[in-house]
Amino acid sequence: PCRAQPKKKKKVDVKKEQAQKERMKKKLKKLEKAAPELIPIEDFITPLKYSESNRVRSLPPLSPEESERRVLLMKKWCLFKQKQDEAEKKAIKALVESQQEALKELRLESEELYQAAIRRDEGLFPFERDGPSYTPPLPGYDPPEGKCVDITKVYTQ
Amino acid sequence: SAAAQRPWKLFGAMCLLRLPRITQPLEKVEEAMAALMEQIELEKSHYSDHEVRKLEEEEQLKKKKESLYDEDEALGKTVIMAQDLEEKWEQKFLQFKAAPRITDADKNNDRTSLNRKLDSNLTLLVKQKIGNQELWLLPQAEWQPGETLRSTAERAMATFLGDHIQAKVLGNAPYGIYKYKFPRAIRTENNVGAKVFFFKAFLQSSDLSQAELKADHLWVTKKELGDYLKSEYLKKVNRFLLD
């Protein structure tokens, strides 16, 4: 006598559960089909508090002599940079020429040494070097201690 | 054998460079341009939080001076003004003393020290005996069969500076070559002259206290090379040395 009822419950439950699962699967498929949200680039969005009017700087307007001076300085700078670039390129060209000449002479001497010379140097790259600073390092300097906490937001698609 | 038939003797020389530790001084145009860029940046910017706070406090101060009854509000409040903060920072900055850009070695013109001319490349020069002359040269050694020219140059460096040198050799290929013929007295069919192949390396460690310096040595900049090297040799070396 107790058998019939539990059986019905089980069947109905199983059917209901299956229907639920199918609904969930359909929802998942719909979500996956939707295009992924673009990760916002925080550098390109200016926070609203910086566009308030009280933030605008009040400075006297530029005089014509000042703007004239600026334009002339920028022209001088352009010329200076051009000369600098040309000098760099010339120096590099001389370097390469010198190396080619050396390799040519080496080849005349011995093929074996030449092959050893043009082989790639595996230990050279990655080449790391700290650039120069404004003042040389102070001997015996004790930098102040502190902790750096990284609060960058990480977005996942 | 092949070695005996070669009329040119081979030498490997190492050009060891100490890279600059401080920036070079700016030219006038560069300084003027830097100032202009800062000015333009200032003009195009808005006020920062610190500056807004400063302006607000200045206005409050003005109001306090004009109206006398605000003294009641000020009692019990010890407010740190932005101006005070700035002064505190300024004091702290003035207390710090950076290392000088022009060192003692610069002032004494001590050419054997590595602490000189911190803003340019320094090359190593050693005094070597070639034939019967003592000359200032880049450290060189004669090539032995069975080794590459790069190892010859490294051996040359080790003979003059000891084994504990940390230098990064830039590649297997030579950077330059100096060819010279022996004087007629020594020249024979099989021994016409010598070819010196130059290799370049950067000095990694900054102190050479462990180095056993076996001969007279100098660290010179590119401009000072002319004081020590012969003209033909100098011409070839200058081609691969960037200032």
Examine the pLDDT at B19 and tell me if it is beyond 60: yes
Rounded CA separation A87/A98 (Å): 17
Q: Kindly indicate the confidence band of residue B37, based on its pLDDT and cuts at 50, 70 and 90.
A: very high
Average pLDDT of chain B is 83
Min Cα–Cα distance to chain A from B209, Å:
16
Residue A47, CB half-sphere, CA atoms under 13 Å: how many? 6
Give me A96's structure tokens.
């390469």
Contacts of B118 in chain A (CB under 8 A): 136
Whether the complex's predicted ipTM is more than 0.95 is answered with: no
Rounded CA separation B148/B144 (Å): 9
Min Cα–Cα distance to chain A from B94, Å:
16
Residue to substitute from B36, B172, B202, interface A, most A β-carbons within 10 A? B172
Helical packing angle, A64-109 and B231-240, nearest 10°: 110
DSSP assignment of B145-158: TTS-HHHHHHHHHH
Examine the pLDDT at A74 and tell me if it is beyond 90: yes
Beta strands in B92-170 (DSSP E): 122-130, 133-137, 140-142, 167-169
Q: Kindly indicate the confidence band of residue A36, based on its pLDDT and cuts at 50, 70 and 90.
A: confident
CATH superfamily membership of B8-22+102-239 = Nucleoside Triphosphate Pyrophosphohydrolase (3.90.79.10)
- At B180 the pLDDT is 86
> Mean pLDDT across the stretch A73-82?
96
Classify strands B193-203 and B8-18 as parallel, antiparallel or unpaired.
parallel
Residue B29's CB is within 10 A of a number of other CB atoms, namely 14
pLDDT tens digits for range B74-96: 544 557 888 889 999 999 999 98
> Mean pLDDT across the stretch B233-243?
87
| Window from A2-16, A37-51, A83-97, B212-226 with minimum mean pLDDT | A2-16
> Mean pLDDT across the stretch A20-37?
86
* The 3-state secondary structure of B20-55, one letter per residue: CCECCCCCHHHHHHHHHHHHHHHHHCECCHHHHHHH
Examine the pLDDT at B2 and tell me if it is beyond 50: no
pLDDT tens digits for range B112-137: 888 888 888 989 888 888 877 888 88
Among chain B residues, CA nearest to A119: B172
Query: Angle at Cα B61 formed by Cα B55 and Cα B62, nearest 5°?
Result: 90
Tell me if A116 and B172 make a contact (CB, 8 A cut-off): yes
**In a 3-state reduction of DSSP, which class is residue B218?**
strand
Query: What residues of chain A, 35 to 94, have a C-beta less than 8 Å from chain B?
Result: 50, 54-57, 59, 70, 73-74, 76-77, 80, 91-92, 94
Q: Kindly indicate the confidence band of residue B209, based on its pLDDT and cuts at 50, 70 and 90.
A: low
Tell me if B21 and A132 make a contact (CB, 8 A cut-off): yes
Q: Which residue has the tokens 């130059």?
A: B198
Examine the pLDDT at A7 and tell me if it is beyond 70: no
Residue spans in chain B of domains classed CATH 3.90.79.10: 8-22+102-239
Rounded CA separation B119/B26 (Å): 12
Give me the total of CB pairs closer than 8 Å, taking one residue from chain A and one from chain B.
Answer: 129
Tell me if A117 and B172 make a contact (CB, 8 A cut-off): yes
Residue of A56, A77, A138 with shortest CB distance to B98: A138
Does A26 contact chain B (CB < 8 Å)?
Answer: no
